[in-house]
Structure 1
């Protein structure tokens, strides 16, 4: 009986080790700046129009929020996501709440739902079709808004 228990425990330890290794190496599981670094950055050449993004947050019901993006020189191209060549004025956005990546965005509206009580920092980054975070002059093309939630 003890031999079976030791074998089972050994299996679990090895399984958890492989599981941890796989999840820590997968770039899609990484958040914040590390997630951008996993996909890299795409510097927009000076000859191109530089895109920009602004974020507006508004109440959408008694305790939920709606996010709206205002884009300049950028369009969503979900059908091209994953292309190897970088794109500078089309792609998708990434939504971060308090530094944690929540979702990719392929449109100008997103229902945030409920936010935690207190300070919430909402950041949107614009990303190339190859998933790299767009940069202009060494700075990320992004917007951040803070919303205070009082319940």
Structure 2
């Protein structure tokens, strides 16, 4: 009788040990699966971040390469010197109306049929007048807003803050480089205060248009 009881106890003990080892292996296998899954997820995230970073770098470099508005180009010494002045009035509905006064400058959009940007980087002159040609860039509070191909531009009120603001226009060649004369940028800037009855507080013209009338 004692032998049978001892054998039963051993059987029970052996069965419990096997069950313990089985569950332990299951837990280990599950932990391995979680670890592998976490490793794969981390690898995918790292690759995505690296790809996005590289794409952002390439995009920034491309923008820097294509943005020539911070580069000067000298007007030919034998070309008539361009002149630029600005005037600004409040619009009847909203915002402001900007008028460009130009002299000895051919304001126009870039020529059609240009294949590469390098073709636009040179100092081009109008064949009929001999004036240097190109377009203009509009800045409000130091931020570039748009290109300008005509003499009149409406400026939405959303571009302006309450108080003092600046409105600047530069003359640029077809490759967006800003024109210089005698090593000075051709630019006109208005300093305005939209809280005062007299809108324009100060005006700076590097090469002002002379009113002879």
Q: Is the shorter-chain TM-score for this pair beyond 0.5, marking a shared fold? A: yes
1:143 aligned residue? 188
Name segments (4+ residues, structure 1) moved above 6 Å.
Answer: none
Structure ranking higher in strand proportion: 1
Q: Report the secondary structure of 1:23's partner residue.
A: helix
TM-superposition CA deviations, 1:61-100 (whole Å, max 9, x none): 3541111111111122214275343225211001111111
Aligned pairs, number: 145
Q: Is the 8 A contact 2:123 2:173 kept in 1?
A: yes
Stretch moving more, 122-131 or 136-145: 122-131
CA offsets, 1:104-130, max 9 Å, x none? Answer: 111111111011222211110001123
Q: Which has the higher helix share?
A: 2
Cα RMSD after superposing both structures: 2.4
Alpha-carbon separation, structure 1, partners of 2:181 and 2:83: 10
Structure 2 residue runs of 5 or longer lacking an equivalent are: 1-36, 126-131, 197-213
TM-score by length of 1: 0.81
Aligned to 2:147: 104
Structure with larger RCO (C-alpha < 8 A, sep 6+): 1
Provide the TM-score with structure 2 as the length reference.
0.60
Partner in structure 1 of residue 73 of structure 2: 42
Q: 1:122 maps to what in 2?
A: 167
Q: Name the CA shift for 1:112/1:11 in 2 (closer, same or farther; >3 Å).
A: farther
List alignment gaps of at least 5 residues for structure 1. none
